[in-house]
Amino acid sequence: MATRVKIIGIGSPFGDDRLGWMAARTLQNSARTQSDAVQIEITALDRPGTALISEWNGADAVILIDAVRSGATPGTLHCLAPDRLDTGITVTSSHGLGIAAALELAQTLNELPDKLCLCGIEIDPSHTGENLSPSVQAALPSLVSQVEQLTGELFESVVMAPDVT
Protein backbone atom coordinates (compact mmCIF):
# COMPACT_ATOMS: atom_id res chain seq x y z
CA MET A 1 0.00 0.00 0.00
CA ALA A 2 1.30 3.47 -0.89
CA THR A 3 2.10 5.95 1.83
CA ARG A 4 -0.63 8.58 1.99
CA VAL A 5 0.20 12.27 2.50
CA LYS A 6 -2.68 14.72 2.80
CA ILE A 7 -2.17 18.45 2.20
CA ILE A 8 -5.16 20.51 3.34
CA GLY A 9 -5.50 24.17 2.40
CA ILE A 10 -7.92 25.85 4.78
CA GLY A 11 -9.66 29.14 4.16
CA SER A 12 -12.61 31.14 3.02
CA PRO A 13 -13.28 33.38 0.02
CA PHE A 14 -12.25 36.52 1.91
CA GLY A 15 -8.92 38.40 1.77
CA ASP A 16 -5.87 36.81 3.33
CA ASP A 17 -8.00 33.89 4.55
CA ARG A 18 -7.88 32.67 0.91
CA LEU A 19 -4.24 31.71 1.49
CA GLY A 20 -4.83 28.00 2.13
CA TRP A 21 -6.93 27.70 -1.01
CA MET A 22 -4.40 29.54 -3.18
CA ALA A 23 -1.51 27.42 -1.87
CA ALA A 24 -3.48 24.18 -2.43
CA ARG A 25 -4.28 25.20 -6.01
CA THR A 26 -0.62 25.98 -6.70
CA LEU A 27 0.52 22.69 -5.15
CA GLN A 28 -1.99 20.71 -7.23
CA ASN A 29 -0.14 21.93 -10.33
CA SER A 30 3.34 21.26 -8.93
CA ALA A 31 5.49 18.45 -10.28
CA ARG A 32 7.18 18.28 -6.86
CA THR A 33 3.99 16.98 -5.26
CA GLN A 34 3.70 14.04 -7.67
CA SER A 35 5.09 10.62 -6.74
CA ASP A 36 4.64 6.99 -7.67
CA ALA A 37 5.70 5.77 -4.22
CA VAL A 38 3.49 8.14 -2.26
CA GLN A 39 -0.18 8.92 -2.65
CA ILE A 40 -0.54 12.70 -2.25
CA GLU A 41 -3.98 14.17 -1.85
CA ILE A 42 -4.37 17.96 -1.93
CA THR A 43 -7.65 19.45 -0.77
CA ALA A 44 -9.02 22.94 -0.15
CA LEU A 45 -11.60 23.29 2.61
CA ASP A 46 -13.85 26.12 3.74
CA ARG A 47 -13.58 26.56 7.52
CA PRO A 48 -13.75 22.84 8.40
CA GLY A 49 -13.58 22.95 12.22
CA THR A 50 -13.75 19.43 13.63
CA ALA A 51 -14.32 17.98 10.13
CA LEU A 52 -10.53 18.14 9.82
CA ILE A 53 -10.37 14.95 11.85
CA SER A 54 -12.28 12.96 9.26
CA GLU A 55 -10.42 14.69 6.40
CA TRP A 56 -7.06 13.28 7.45
CA ASN A 57 -8.40 9.84 8.33
CA GLY A 58 -6.03 7.17 7.01
CA ALA A 59 -3.21 9.61 6.20
CA ASP A 60 0.34 8.79 7.26
CA ALA A 61 1.29 12.47 7.23
CA VAL A 62 -0.69 15.73 7.07
CA ILE A 63 0.25 19.29 6.21
CA LEU A 64 -2.32 21.97 7.05
CA ILE A 65 -2.00 25.33 5.28
CA ASP A 66 -3.79 28.37 6.66
CA ALA A 67 -3.53 32.07 7.38
CA VAL A 68 -1.83 32.85 10.70
CA ARG A 69 -2.14 35.73 13.12
CA SER A 70 0.51 35.98 15.83
CA GLY A 71 1.56 39.63 15.74
CA ALA A 72 4.60 38.91 13.55
CA THR A 73 5.32 41.01 10.47
CA PRO A 74 2.78 40.37 7.69
CA GLY A 75 4.24 37.90 5.20
CA THR A 76 6.22 35.95 7.82
CA LEU A 77 6.26 32.21 7.13
CA HIS A 78 5.30 29.82 9.91
CA CYS A 79 5.69 26.04 10.04
CA LEU A 80 4.61 24.55 13.34
CA ALA A 81 4.07 21.21 14.97
CA PRO A 82 0.65 20.88 16.67
CA ASP A 83 2.08 21.41 20.17
CA ARG A 84 3.37 24.87 19.17
CA LEU A 85 -0.09 26.33 18.45
CA ASP A 86 -0.56 27.31 22.07
CA THR A 87 2.25 29.88 21.90
CA GLY A 88 -0.01 32.78 20.92
CA ILE A 89 -0.13 31.82 17.24
CA THR A 90 -3.68 31.39 16.10
CA VAL A 91 -5.38 30.69 12.85
CA THR A 92 -7.36 33.66 11.71
CA SER A 93 -10.81 33.72 10.14
CA SER A 94 -14.26 32.47 10.92
CA HIS A 95 -13.50 28.74 10.98
CA GLY A 96 -15.89 28.27 13.89
CA LEU A 97 -13.91 25.85 16.00
CA GLY A 98 -10.34 26.74 15.11
CA ILE A 99 -7.50 24.48 14.10
CA ALA A 100 -5.90 24.48 17.55
CA ALA A 101 -9.18 23.32 19.13
CA ALA A 102 -9.68 20.69 16.40
CA LEU A 103 -6.15 19.39 16.99
CA GLU A 104 -6.71 19.29 20.74
CA LEU A 105 -9.91 17.30 20.20
CA ALA A 106 -8.14 14.94 17.79
CA GLN A 107 -5.38 14.38 20.33
CA THR A 108 -7.94 13.63 23.04
CA LEU A 109 -9.64 11.14 20.71
CA ASN A 110 -6.26 9.66 19.70
CA GLU A 111 -6.96 10.67 16.08
CA LEU A 112 -3.88 12.78 15.29
CA PRO A 113 -1.82 11.56 12.33
CA ASP A 114 1.70 10.35 13.14
CA LYS A 115 3.18 13.30 11.24
CA LEU A 116 1.38 16.64 11.21
CA CYS A 117 2.49 20.21 10.54
CA LEU A 118 0.73 23.56 10.14
CA CYS A 119 2.25 25.89 7.56
CA GLY A 120 1.03 29.41 7.01
CA ILE A 121 1.75 33.04 6.40
CA GLU A 122 1.23 35.89 8.83
CA ILE A 123 -1.72 37.92 7.56
CA ASP A 124 -1.95 41.69 7.25
CA PRO A 125 -4.68 42.59 9.78
CA SER A 126 -5.21 45.98 8.15
CA HIS A 127 -5.95 44.48 4.73
CA THR A 128 -9.51 44.53 3.50
CA GLY A 129 -10.64 43.15 0.20
CA GLU A 130 -11.33 39.92 -1.57
CA ASN A 131 -7.78 39.15 -2.73
CA LEU A 132 -4.61 38.40 -0.78
CA SER A 133 -2.76 41.38 0.67
CA PRO A 134 0.49 42.31 -1.10
CA SER A 135 2.65 40.92 1.75
CA VAL A 136 0.84 37.55 1.78
CA GLN A 137 0.83 37.35 -2.04
CA ALA A 138 4.58 38.02 -2.09
CA ALA A 139 5.24 35.27 0.48
CA LEU A 140 3.02 32.65 -1.21
CA PRO A 141 5.75 31.22 -3.52
CA SER A 142 8.06 30.74 -0.52
CA LEU A 143 5.28 28.98 1.39
CA VAL A 144 4.58 26.66 -1.54
CA SER A 145 8.29 25.86 -1.80
CA GLN A 146 8.44 25.18 1.94
CA VAL A 147 5.45 22.82 1.74
CA GLU A 148 7.03 21.01 -1.24
CA GLN A 149 10.24 20.57 0.75
CA LEU A 150 8.35 19.43 3.83
CA THR A 151 6.37 16.97 1.72
CA GLY A 152 9.66 15.48 0.48
CA GLU A 153 10.93 15.21 4.06
CA LEU A 154 7.70 13.53 5.12
CA PHE A 155 8.12 11.03 2.25
CA GLU A 156 11.56 10.17 3.50
CA SER A 157 10.56 9.86 7.15
CA VAL A 158 7.50 7.73 6.39
CA VAL A 159 8.63 5.79 3.31
CA MET A 160 12.26 5.28 4.23
CA ALA A 161 11.55 4.14 7.78
CA PRO A 162 13.24 0.77 8.31
CA ASP A 163 10.99 -2.26 8.21
CA VAL A 164 10.55 -3.97 11.51
CA THR A 165 10.43 -7.73 11.08
pLDDT at 85 over 70: no
Q: Which of 25, 19, 8, 44 is nearest to 124 (CA)?
A: 19
Tell me what the mean pLDDT of segment 159-165 comes to: 41
| 44, 162 Cβ separation under 8 angstroms | no
Question: In b/e form, how buried is each residue of 111-147, taking b as 16+ CB within 10 angstroms?
Answer: ebbebbbbbbbbbbeeeeeeebbebbbebbeebbebb
Tell me what the mean pLDDT of segment 15-20 comes to: 93
**Residue 57 binned pLDDT confidence (cut-offs 50, 70, 90):** confident
**Domains of the chain, with CATH numbers?**
3-159 (3.40.50.1450)
| 90, 98 Cβ separation under 8 angstroms | yes
Q: What is the mean pLDDT of the chain?
A: 81
pTM: 0.83
Mapping DSSP to helix (H, G, I), strand (E, B) and coil, where does residue 129 land? coil
Tens of pLDDT, residue by residue over 96-146, are 567 777 777 788 888 888 888 899 999 999 998 889 999 999 999 999 999
Q: What is the pLDDT of residue 75?
A: 96
Tell me what the mean pLDDT of segment 135-160 comes to: 83
Q: What is the pLDDT of residue 94?
A: 43
